Structure 1
Amino acid sequence: MSSVLTGKLEADVEIKASAEKFHDMFCNRPHHVSKASSDKIQGCDLHDGDWGTVGSIVYWSYVHDGEAKKAKELVEAIDSENNSITFRVIEGDLMKEYKSFVIKIQATPKREGEGSIVHWTFEYEKLHEGIAHPETLLEFAVQVSKDMDTHLIQGN
């Protein structure tokens, strides 16, 4: 039985950078995302564990819908072979509206030519029916991906 409170949103972003480079930045150097997308991501700090390891906790400062926000995320899974990483939000602004929020980012090389496709998946459970689905947050993620792509293809 599916509840009206649970949801799943997905988006694909075409980028010029390689899947490996994109994944490496999110997995091992997420603190560089703020350099690539400084208008959206203010910072990313390691709170526990090591960069690029499952079980580590990262703390994001970002601006979404014109508001400064925070998110503390647990790195739940890393699949370097398939260039995917899964974060579970455990604290922060999203927890005011969602009981659970999981973000999966997977970069896949394009079949032909240069570049890759970044696939974002948000799986969440809202606290109540009055809360909107996080479409604007997904659009935000798409824009951050494009900023990261520009940063990566410039050789950073």
Structure 2
Amino acid sequence: MSSDGVSTFEVEFEIKCSAEKFFDIYADHVTMLPQVLPHMFKSITVVKGDGKSVGSVVDWEYVLEPPNFENARQTLEAVDEENMVLTKRFYGGDLGKKFDHYEATLKAFKKEDKNYVKWSLDIKKTHGEIPEPHDYMDFIERFTKEFDSSLATANISAQIDRNQK
């Protein structure tokens, strides 16, 4: 834990689809997640900006522990398309009751001819009684694997094509 009380949790996964595809679809089409993974996301709504540019604000309703939905607001803090890195800060709602600071950074990359995604969570709990964010790390793992599977089977590409018509 740092001197300001922020803890960092990291996890890395090998993915089946290309790192570029994972990053591009997540960065540009996040509002489609409720259609592609409805058991994980109830809604993702852009409330300011376009949802893909720094400063955009998005409301999320997600299932951390089935069957209950949680919610949070998210601001896109940084996007580096060249290095396939993006950072989102989540706050308010159910998540804000647990964390004073919750920032998620995604980095997609290729290493030794394999594709990977690395997630970093920087969190600061609202108080000492809040457990470590293992449930959020489990959610990130489930999401990454199911999102990757959808990308590998072209479910998301077909969904994007339908929505753009």
Is the structural similarity TM-score above 0.5?
Answer: yes
Are the equivalent residues in 2 in contact too, given 1:49–1:55 (CA < 8 A)? yes
| Cα displacement string for residues 92-117 of structure 1 (whole angstroms, at most 9, x for unaligned residues) | 2111011111010111123225xx11
**1:13-32 matches, cutoff 5 A:** 13-32=13-32
| Cα displacement string for residues 14-65 of structure 1 (whole angstroms, at most 9, x for unaligned residues) | 1111111111122110012223322111221111001310000111110112
- Give the match for residue 150 of structure 1: 149
- Give the match for residue 99 of structure 1: 100
- Give the match for residue 91 of structure 2: 90
CA RMSD of aligned residues (A): 1.7
- Give the match for residue 110 of structure 1: 111
- Give the match for residue 124 of structure 2: 125
| Cα displacement string for residues 44-89 of structure 1 (whole angstroms, at most 9, x for unaligned residues) | 1111001310000111110112221111100000010111110011
Cα separation, 2, equivalents of 1:71 and 1:22: 23
Report 1 or 2 for greater relative contact order, CA contacts < 8 Å, sequence distance ≥ 6: 1
Give the CA deviation at 1:118: 0.8
- Give the match for residue 135 of structure 2: 136
- Give the match for residue 49 of structure 2: 49
Percent of aligned pairs with the same amino acid: 30
Cα separation, 2, equivalents of 1:51 and 1:21: 18
- Give the match for residue 35 of structure 2: 35
Give the CA deviation at 1:3: 4.7
Cα separation, 2, equivalents of 1:28 and 1:4: 33
Runs of 4+ in 1 over 6 A off after TM superposition: none
Are the equivalent residues in 2 in contact too, given 1:105–1:121 (CA < 8 A)? yes
- Give the match for residue 79 of structure 1: 80
Cα separation, 2, equivalents of 1:134 and 1:154: 30
Cα separation, 2, equivalents of 1:76 and 1:18: 24
Normalised to the residue count of structure 1, the TM-score between the two structures is 0.91
Cα separation, 2, equivalents of 1:34 and 1:97: 24
